[in-house]
C-alpha cells in the first residue's frame, strides 16, 4: 500500500492523490460513505458503485464486534465477502463509540471496558485485541485504538486523554507488526492524532503518531462540539507537520462547507453520517442549497431535485414527489434522499479533484460556497 500526491492547488493547500490498496485505488480527495453494521443504511451496493461511485466505504469495529460478531465474520471470510463489497473498506477502532457511550464505559491504561448497547453485556477493548478484531473484520485500512476527547475538555483532561491514546498507539502498532492478516490481502493502519483544541498537544500528538504511520494518518476528536473555526485551526496546526506522502484523514466531518474548507487546508479523506442521517430526516444537500423536503413549499414543485447535479441519479423524481413520500411516511423517501445526498457528496469531492488538477480550486470553492450553504 502507498499514497502518492498527484496534483496541488497553487492558491491553497488542496491536493489530489491516489491511495493504493489490494481492493483497488482510491482517488483523493474522497468522501467515504459510512456502513456502520455492514451496510450503508438504505442504499444498495449496486447504487453505491454505479450511481454514487463510492470508491471506499466504512465499517464500525464496535458494532461489528457485537453483531454479527467475530465468529460469523471469520466464517464468512471477512467483511468484504460477508457484505459482498469488492472495493476498499476502512474500519474505525471503536474509539468514537467509546466516547459516545461514556455513561457505560470505563477507561484504564489497559484499555476500555464497556457495556453493549444491545444487551448490557460487558466487554473490553485493549490495543492488542483491537488489532485482532480488525484483522478478523478484514478492513484494508484499520484505525488505531484511541480515546476521542470531548471538544470542550479542559487542559488537564486533554493531557490525560492524549497520554492514554499515545500509550495505546504504541501497543497497537507493536501488535499490528507482530501479527499477519487473516485473509489473502494486505492491511495497513492509520494512527489517530488527538489533543483536543490545544495546538501544542496536537503538534505533540502528530510528531508521536508519525513514528507509526506508513501510509496515512488520521485527525480525530474534531467536530465533537468545538466551533468550526477551532476545527480549522487544528487542521492548520497539524497538516504542515505531515509528510506529503501520507494520506490525511479527517474523521467524522462533516457538512459540504466543512469538507471544502478542510480540503483547502490539505485534508484528503472524509467520512460522516450526515448525508444518510439527515437524508432520512428530509434534509437534502444540493448545488443550489439545502432543502427540507417536508416543507409545504415543495408540495407542487415539479422541478428536478437538483438540476445542477448533472451526474446525479435523481432526475426521474421531482421535489413534489419526494415531499409527498416524506409526508406519507414512505420508506422510499429515506432511500432516495440518502442516495441523493451521497451522490452529492461524492460529486462534491470529484469536482474538487477536477479543480485542483486544473489549478483553480480556491476560486471555484469561493464561488460555490455561498450557494451550497444557503437554505432554500
Give the catalytic positions in this structure. 92, 271
Residue 9 C-alpha cell reads as: 492547488
Nearest to 191 by CA among 145, 160, 239: 145
Q: How many angstroms separate the CA atoms of 153 and 216, rounded?
A: 27
Q: Which run of H or E residues covers position 323?
A: helix 319-327
Per DSSP (E only), the strands in the chain are: 2-8, 15-21, 24-28, 30-32, 57-60, 89-92, 105-107, 111-115, 122-126, 141-143, 188-190, 192-193, 216-219, 247-250, 269-271, 283-286, 289-292
Q: List residues bridging with 271 in a β-sheet.
A: 32, 253
Ramachandran class of 366: left when φ > 0, alpha when ψ lies in -120 to 50, beta otherwise? alpha
Q: How many angstroms separate the CA atoms of 172 and 314, rounded?
A: 44
- The whole-angstrom distance between residue 150's C-alpha and the CA centroid of its chain comes to 18
Would strands 192-193 and 188-190 be described as parallel, antiparallel, or unpaired?
Answer: unpaired
Q: How many angstroms separate the CA atoms of 198 and 159, rounded?
A: 10
Amino acid at each position: 500500500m502507498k499514497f502518492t500526491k498527484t496534483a496541488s492547488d497553487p492558491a491553497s493547500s488542496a491536493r489530489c492523490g491516489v491511495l493504493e490498496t489490494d481492493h483497488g485505488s482510491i482517488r483523493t480527495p474522497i468522501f467515504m460513505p459510512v456502513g456502520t453494521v455492514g451496510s450503508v443504511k438504505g442504499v444498495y451496493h449496486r447504487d453505491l458503485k454505479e450511481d454514487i461511485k463510492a470508491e471506499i466505504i466504512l465499517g464500525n469495529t464496535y458494532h461489528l464486534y457485537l453483531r454479527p460478531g467475530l465468529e460469523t465474520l471469520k466464517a464468512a471470510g471477512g467483511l468484504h465477502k460477508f457484505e459482498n463489497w469488492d472495493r476498499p473498506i476502512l474500519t474505525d477502532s471503536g474509539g468514537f463509540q467509546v466516547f459516545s457511550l461514556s455513561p457505560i464505559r470505563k477507561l484504564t491504561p489497559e484499555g476500555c471496558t464497556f457495556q453493549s448497547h444491545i444487551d448490557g453485556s460487558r466487554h473490553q477493548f485493549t490495543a492488542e485485541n483491537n488489532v485482532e478484531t480488525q484483522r478478523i473484520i478484514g478492513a484494508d485500512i484499520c484505525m488505531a485504538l484511541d480515546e476521542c476527547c470531548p471538544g470542550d475538555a479542559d487542559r488537564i483532561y486533554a493531557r490525560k486523554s492524549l497520554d492514554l491514546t499515545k500509550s495505546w498507539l504504541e501497543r497497537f502498532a507493536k501488535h499490528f507488526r507482530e501479527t499477519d492478516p487473516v485473509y489473502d490481502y494486505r492491511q495497513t493502519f492509520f494512527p489517530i492524532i488527538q489533543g483536543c483544541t490545544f495546538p501544542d498537544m496536537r503538534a505533540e500528538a502528530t510528531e508521536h503518531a508519525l513514528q507509526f504511520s506508513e501510509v496515512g494518518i488520521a485527525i480525530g476528536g474534531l467536530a465533537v462540539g468545538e466551533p468550526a473555526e477551532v476545527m480549522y485551526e487544528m487542521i492548520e496546526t497539524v497538516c504542515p507537520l505531515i509528510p506529503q506522502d501520507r494520506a490525511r484523514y479527517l474523521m467524522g466531518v462533516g457538512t459540504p462547507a466543512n469538507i471544502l474548507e478542510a480540503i483547502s487546508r490539505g485534508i484528503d479523506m472524509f467520512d460522516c453520517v450526515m448525508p444518510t442521517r439527515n437524508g432520512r430526516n428530509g434534509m437534502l444537500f444540493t448545488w443550489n442549497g439545502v432543502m427540507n423536503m417536508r416543507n409545504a413549499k415543495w408540495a407542487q414543485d415539479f422541478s428536478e431535485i437538483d438540476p445542477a447535479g448533472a451526474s446525479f441519479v435523481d432526475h426521474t423524481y421531482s421535489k413534489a414527489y419526494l415531499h409527498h413520500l416524506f409526508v406519507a411516511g414512505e420508506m422510499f423517501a429515506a432511500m432516495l434522499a440518502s442516495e441523493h445526498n451521497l451522490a452529492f457528496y461524492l460529486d462534491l469531492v470529484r469536482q474538487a479533484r477536477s479543480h485542483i488538477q486544473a489549478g483553480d480550486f480556491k476560486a471555484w470553492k469561493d464561488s460555490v460556497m455561498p450557494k451550497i450553504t444557503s437554505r432554500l
